[in-house]
Chains A and B, each alone.
Chain A
């Protein structure tokens, strides 16, 4: 693990992104649109909204994330820069970490924009602390990004990659998705402080296991 290498790959990705801004723009617009869609799904003034809104908020990130994640390695594959990347004197693990960090930056950016947007659009009163809700979402997004980036590399050589990616990532993330929704509801509806929620610890440990497995197995994906 070499931080300088990781940082340089992250920098490279951010620079490429800042030129075209394809992924970020799409992700942001998609987040906006799906927030609107979910708003239409329920009557905005009915009390039901209070119960379902945390789930909606989390799903918005999952859908937007799917859009961005599938680009992480596929972009490299399509433009043919993957070879260059694997020829560079950077260990495979560092490439994976760099991709995870880059995706995380994207997701956090989306989160910072979408979270206030959600509160405004849904007219939502968070019962617990706003920071806790934000942190729960961040933990969920970390898990999502770890599994998603890894699997994005896995499906690189598959046919109809974007489709296969969803089918693989969503089942593997099912525990995290469920646990995050439960803890999000606990924070946003029942106003329970973050540290006394058991589910979030469980989700975090699942994410850690996934991250360890990912770094152990990444070498096998990159060998051609």
Chain B
């Protein structure tokens, strides 16, 4: 059903890998910002 050629599968794997790394980094960065904001919030109180 998917009709992917081997070349396309290889390309999609690469895209997936790059996107997954970028996405993970973004989420980690947001999480880092979040924890920083929360700790500052406590200090400002």
- Give yes or no for direct A-B contact (beta carbon below 8 Å): no
Chain B residues in the interface with A (C-beta under 8 A)? none
